[in-house]
Amino acid sequence: MSSKEIEGWQTSMELLQIKKLETEVETELVLAARSGLEGSVEHLIEDDKREKDILSKKGETLAVELAELLELVRLKEAEIAENNAQMQEVQERIGAVVSRFHGSQSDIDMKINSLQESQTKIDQDTEALALKKNEIDNCISSAEQKDSDLREIINACSSEAKACQQSVEIRRKLASSILKSRQDRIGLLKMEEEISQDIQMLRQQTTDARTSLQEISSKRACIQQEMATCKQKLSFIDKRGPELEAEKKVAAAARNFKEAGRIAAEAKTLNSEKEELRAKLEKAGTDLEVIEKDIAATTDKIQECEGLIVLKEQESAMASYKRLRLDSSAARAELTAATETDDGEEVEILRKEAEAAESKALELKTLYNLQPDSDEYIFQPVVPIAFITNSTWQHLAEMASSFGLSPET
């Protein structure tokens, strides 16, 4: 806006200069006309004119001296006044001579007065433009001062915004540790649940396998008992065969053919029973081999399930150990925050909670001889949400520094 006003002022000045030049040209023309008028009466006022020229030159000299030596204005004012008085006398004489040219002279005087008024108006416009320029300069100065003040405010706001951004970044990093701790705890709980389901399934499989093993063992005992019975019968038949043959020979020698026939029928029956027992014993042996394989496979499956149960219990114990250490870390963090609030009851509850979690974790570690592969669940920084929300930026910065966190990392 100030630049536009300056351009307007410069345009107005140029217009005034042009108008001033036009006025000067018009003045020269009027003066030339007046000179022509005076030339017509020059022979009448030649002596007076010469004297007037001298006085006019003297007045011009005095005016030049007045312009150059403003400090001597008061000294020159008396001389100018005297010279003006003399000029007035000469002008009166001239007026008497040129009174008959009063009409032309009046027009010239009116023109001169008009030009003087124009000159006065130009001077006033010049002065007004100068005042306008001063106002513009003041406006520019004020705008520059406001610009400087605004820059200072912007710098202060920028510093404050940077501090706020760092505070938000620190709070975000601290809060992310809480979210990660919660996610890890949820993951560990889910892992425990899945492992527990696997253990239950393996135990059910073990129970089923043991039941099946008992049934198979019962079948094996029955088959073994049946095979023993068959072997006893075969042994009896093997012993009875020669006896029957001897009795048959005795009956034949005694011509007791009826007894001999009975003995021969009994021997034939025993032979048939012997073949049946051998077939039955062979089939029982085959079934026993199959059952023995089933018993071995079932026993291997039971041992495998028991081994998997031990491994799963070990994994579950490790997951529980890590979860308990997370719970202990969170409780310790809450305990630190509660200590600053001087809430004795809350402090005692959190201390007992942390100690219980640590005790249970140590018990699991000792019972299962756990060897944690890392300490990421033990030393992971955990800060309470309320502590992050209510703490000052300086306190948060100190806490983040102690955890190895910073807005730039």
**pLDDT value, residue 186:** 87
How far apart CA 145 and CA 150 sit, in angstroms, is 9
The answer to whether the CB of 266 falls within 8 A of the CB of 310 is no
Please give the average per-residue pLDDT across 166-192, as a whole number. Answer: 74
300 pLDDT tier (thresholds 50, 70, 90): very high
How many Å apart are CA 282 and CA 260, to the nearest integer?
33
> Exposed, middle or buried: residue 346 (CB in 10 Å: 0-12, 13-18, 19+)?
middle
Burial (CB count within 10 angstroms: exposed 0-12, middle 13-18, buried 19+), residue 243: exposed
- The answer to whether residue 355 scores a pLDDT higher than 90 is no
Q: In this prediction, what percent of the chain has a pLDDT beyond 70? A: 78
The H or E element containing residue 377 is: none
Q: How confident is the model at residue 303 (pLDDT cuts 50, 70, 90)?
A: very high
Which residue in the block uniquely carries the two structure tokens 């560990």?
A: 188
Q: What is the pLDDT of residue 400?
A: 56
CA gyration radius, the chain:
67
> Please, what are the domains in the chain?
153-403 (1.10.287.2610)
> Counting every residue, how long is the chain?
409
The pLDDT of residue 399 is 55
How confident is the model over 245-249, as a mean pLDDT?
A: 78
Higher model confidence: residue 102 or residue 212? 212
Per-residue pLDDT at 325: 84
pLDDT at position 297: 92
9-13, 82-86, 179-183, 382-386: least confident range: 382-386
Q: How far is residue 257's CA from residue 254's CA, in Å, rounded to a whole number?
A: 8
